[in-house]
Amino acid sequence: MTECQIHGILANERRRAVIERLDASPGTVTVRDLSTTIAAAETGESPPPARVRESVYTSLHQTHLPKLHEVGVVEYDRDHSLVHLRPAVREVDRHMDVLNGLGITWGEYYRSLGVFGLVLVIASLTGLPLVGAVDPLLWASGTLVTFAVSGAIQLWDDRWRVRRTVGQFFRFRDRGHR
């Protein structure tokens, strides 16, 4: 998939929503369920108004899912209105930085945590009041523990994607050995 195709996919908010919602689902999803979930996210209402849900369904069915199917990101069965992600989604995922529960990307969170930990260690080494009373090794250890716990939380939040990727890796590896 070319960079231009990837940016074309990500340029549309509904296509990004399709990828995010399917990424959070462990398998095949009906277009009706997908449209309801996206409509609820767009309106902030659950259940979403019928007219919005129908509008989302129509745009997914006629425009967005066929486009995502065409570039190999999703498998879309029009006859049964079923959709699931394909392995090519990994190319698109690299361009989507996922937000965590704080409303910032995980990358921003980890960079901020690293800078905060560094500031605490330096402040402790310079003897800054309150912070200097704690050993710098303790501040560094606390920061590392926070990194580890955050990584575990991120993996848990992303467990379906990790599980699918690991499963695809083993299926691919098994095919290569036959």
Residue 96 main-chain phi, psi, to 5 deg: -105, 110
Is pTM beyond 0.85 here? no
Task: Identify whether the C-beta of residue 13 lies closer than 8 Å to the C-beta of residue 38.
Answer: no
Token pair of 86 as six digits: 């394909």
pLDDT of the chain, 178 residues: tens digit per residue? 787 888 888 889 899 899 989 988 878 999 999 999 999 999 999 899 999 999 999 999 999 999 999 999 999 999 999 999 998 887 787 676 665 667 677 888 899 999 999 999 999 999 999 999 999 999 999 999 999 999 988 887 766 656 655 665 565 555 555 5
Pairwise CA distance, residues 170 & 177, whole Å: 11
